Amino acid sequence: LLLLLLLLLFLLLLLLHLAAPDRLVGGPLDCHKTCVCASNIVSCSKMNLSNVPTALPKYTAVLDLSFNSINKLRAEWTTVSLSKLHSLLLSNNGLTFLSSEAFIYVTKLRYLDLSSNGLRQLDEFIFEPLEQLEVLMLYNNRISQIDRSAFAGLNNLERLYLSQNQISRFPLELVKERSRLKALRLLDVSSNRIKAMPLDELQALPAWIKNGLYFHNNSLTCSCDLYDLVVRWQLKELSSAVDYKSSHTCVIPGRHQQKEKVAITDLDRMHLNCSEVKVRDKEAYLNRYLVLDCDTRQKDMEKRWVLPGNIPLSQENKTYEMLKDGTLRIGPLKAEDSGVYTCYASSDSLNETIYVTVVVFNSTLSGGLENIKTAYTTLAGCLVSVVMVLIYLYLTPCRCAGCPGQHSDKLASRDSLHSSSASLSKAQEPPGPERVESGGTLYRHVAFADPKDLLEQNGRLNPIGEEDEECLGERGERRRSDAGSVSSDTPMVV
C-alpha cells in the first residue's frame, strides 16, 4: 500500500511538471516540428505555444509568434541579444502582461505587433528601449489606462495604432508641439470611448499630422465646434476625414437614454443648426508683412510658389521670399499684391496643389488706429470745452452792486483807496432797496473792465468808482454821486 501511494505521488508530480502552462521558458527552437525557419525568418504561428522558444538564432530578423497562447511576455523570454531582429509579431495570443524589461534584448525593433490581445494598461516607459521602433500595433486590446510616459523615447515612431480599445482620454501629448513624437504621422484612436476632443489644439496642428489623425467611431458629444473641425478637414481632403466620412458620428446632447448617433456633417441642416463653414482668405494691410503657409498633407514635400497672374517666383523680386520651411514671405505689402497664390508640392507618392487668396486693404493698420485716437481726442476736447462754459455761466461769483452782501464790501474797499482825497457820505448814497424798486437793472461785474472807466476825467484814477454807481432813478434820470467833497483846487474838465 505504501509503495502504491509513492507511485501515485510520483506520477502526479510528473503530470504537473509536464502540463504546467506557465513555465518560465519554453522549449528549444525546433525548425522541423513547431516552427518554420527560412533564412533569417522564424515563423512559429498557430503552434499552440505557451512560451517563446529558446535558443533563437542571433541572425533572426523576423520572428512570428502570432496565434498562440503566450499570455505573458516576461523579461527572460530571450536571454541573448537579438541585434538583427527588426520585426516581432505577437498578435492573437491572449497577452495580459508585459514585463517592464521585455524589450531590453531586442532594441533594434522597427515593427512590433501586439494587436488582438488582452492588454489592459501600458505602464510608464514600457517601450523606452525601442528607440528605432517605427510601427507599433496595439489595436483590439482592452487598454483603458495609458501612462503619459508610456511612449517616451520612441523618437522614430511613425505609426501608432490604438483603435478598438477602451481609451477615454485623447492622448494629446503625442501630437502637440514640444511633447509630441517627432516622426509620428499616423495616430489611430478610432472606436474607443472618447467623449471629448481638444478641438482648438487639433485645429492648429499642421495638415500632415491631421491627415493621419483618425478618431472616428467614438462617443463624441455633438457640437458646432466639432462640426467645424470635421468639415474643414474634409474640405482640405485630409485622409482621416475623407476615408471614414460615414463613420464620423457624434451623440446628441441630452439624449442619454437612447444615445442616438448622428453624422457630424449633418449638424448644419438638423439638430444643432450649425453655421456653414467657409474658408477665409488671408487679409492684410499696406506696408505690412504676410507669411503664406503651404500646409501639405505630407511632411517634407518639395514646394514651389507661383504668384498671381501665373508669374513664377524669382529672386529678382525682393517683395517675395520663399523661406526654408516652404512658406512664402510677402512685404512690404502693396495694393497690387492681392490675388491668388499657388503652392505646388510634390513627393514620391503624392502631388498636391494649394491655393491661397490674399486681400490687401488699401489702408495702413497704423493709420486707422491714429484716426481712432484723433477722434477720441477731439471728442474729449469738446466735452472739456462744454464743461468750462457751464462753469463760467453758472459758477462765476456775483460782483454786481445790487447783490446781497456785496455793497458794504465795495464801499469799504473804495474808501480805503484814497481816503484823504475823496469820501462819500452815507447819507448821499441811494439806499439799495430804492434802487431796485425804481426799476434799475442789476448787472454782473465783467472781468474785462474798460480801462477808461478806471480814470477820472482829468486822467487820474477814479477812487470812488463812478461806473458802479450809475443807476437809473425813479424818473429814469441818471443819478450821480456827490462830488462836493472833492478838493477845490482840483480842476474839473467838462
Instruction: Based on the fold, state whether residues 132 and 247 are members of the same structural domain.
Output: yes
- Co-location of 96 and 217 in the same domain: yes
Say whether both 136 and 65 belong to one domain. yes
Q: For residue 104, give the nearest of 86, 136, 82, 120 by alpha carbon.
A: 82
84 with 219, same domain: the answer is: yes
Q: Are residues 231 and 154 in the same domain?
A: yes
Residue 405: inside a domain: no
Q: How far is CA 241 from CA 190, 274, 286, in A?
A: 12, 18, 37
Residue 215 within a domain: yes
Q: What cell numbers appear for 168 in the block?
A: 477615454
The whole-angstrom separation of Cα 242 and Cα 235 is 9
Position 159 scores a pLDDT of 97
DSSP state letter for 316:
T
Distance in Å from the first CA to the final CA of the chain: 171
Are 77 and 100 within 8 A, CB to CB?
no
Q: Are 129 and 112 in contact (CB under 8 A)?
A: no
Residues in a beta bridge with 346: 302, 351
Q: Are residues 386 and 434 in the same domain?
A: no
Judgement on whether residues 252 and 371 belong to the same structural domain of the protein: no
212 inside domain: yes
Cα–Cα distance, 274 to 266 (Å, whole number)? 9
Say if 410 falls within a structural domain. Answer: no
Count Cβ atoms below 10 Å from residue 31 Cβ, excluding itself: 14
Pair (37, 79) in one structural domain: yes
461 belongs to a structural domain: yes
The answer to whether position 189 is within a domain reads yes
If asked whether residues 126 and 247 sit together in one domain, one would say: yes
Scanning the structure block, which residue is given the C-alpha cell 512570428? 64
Angle, CA 49 vertex, CA 48 and CA 54 arms, to 5°: 155
- The helix (H) or strand (E) run that includes residue 355 is strand 351-361
The CATH code of the domain that includes 35 is: 3.80.10.10
Q: Residue 381's domain spans which residues?
A: 364-396
Identify the CA nearest to 114 among candidates 124, 126, 104: 126
**The three three-digit cell numbers of residue 119, written as one number:** 492588454
Torsion angle of the four alpha carbons 159, 160, 161, 165, in this order, in degrees rounded to the nearest 10: -170
The cell for 366 is 497704423
Whether 173 is in a domain gets the answer: yes
Residue 384 pLDDT: 78
Residues 129 and 60: their CA atoms lie apart, in Å, by 19
> DSSP character for 443?
-
Q: Do 84 and 222 sit in the same domain of this protein?
A: yes
Q: Within 13 Å and on the Cβ side, how many CA atoms surround 227?
A: 22
Residue type, 432: G
Burial label for 80, CB within 10 Å (0-12, 13-18, 19+), is: exposed
Residue 434: predicted pLDDT: 40
pLDDT of residue 48: 93
What does each of the 494 residues of the chain score in pLDDT, given as a tens digit? 666 666 777 676 665 544 444 444 568 888 988 899 999 999 999 999 999 998 899 999 999 999 999 999 998 898 889 999 999 999 999 999 999 999 999 999 999 999 999 999 999 999 999 999 999 999 999 999 999 889 988 999 999 999 999 999 999 989 987 778 889 999 999 999 999 999 999 998 999 999 999 999 999 999 989 999 999 999 888 999 999 999 999 998 765 556 678 899 888 777 677 887 777 678 888 888 889 888 888 888 899 999 888 888 888 888 898 898 888 999 888 888 888 888 889 888 888 888 888 888 887 755 444 555 555 677 777 787 887 777 777 776 655 555 555 444 444 444 444 433 334 344 444 444 444 443 444 444 444 444 444 444 444 444 444 444 443 444 444 444 443 444 444 444 43
Q: How many Å apart are CA 32 and CA 389, to the nearest integer?
A: 112
Domain assignment present for residue 418? The answer is: no
Q: Do 256 and 330 belong to one domain?
A: no
Q: From CA 152, how far away is CA 399, in angstroms rounded?
A: 89
Answer yes or no: do 335 and 186 share one domain. Answer: no
- Rounded to two decimals, the pTM is 0.66
Q: Are strands 159-161 and 186-188 parallel, antiparallel or unpaired?
A: parallel
User: How far lies 218's CA from each of 166, 200, 205, in Å?
Assistant: 10, 18, 21
d(CA 65, CA 47): 9
Q: What is the CA radius of gyration of the chain?
A: 49
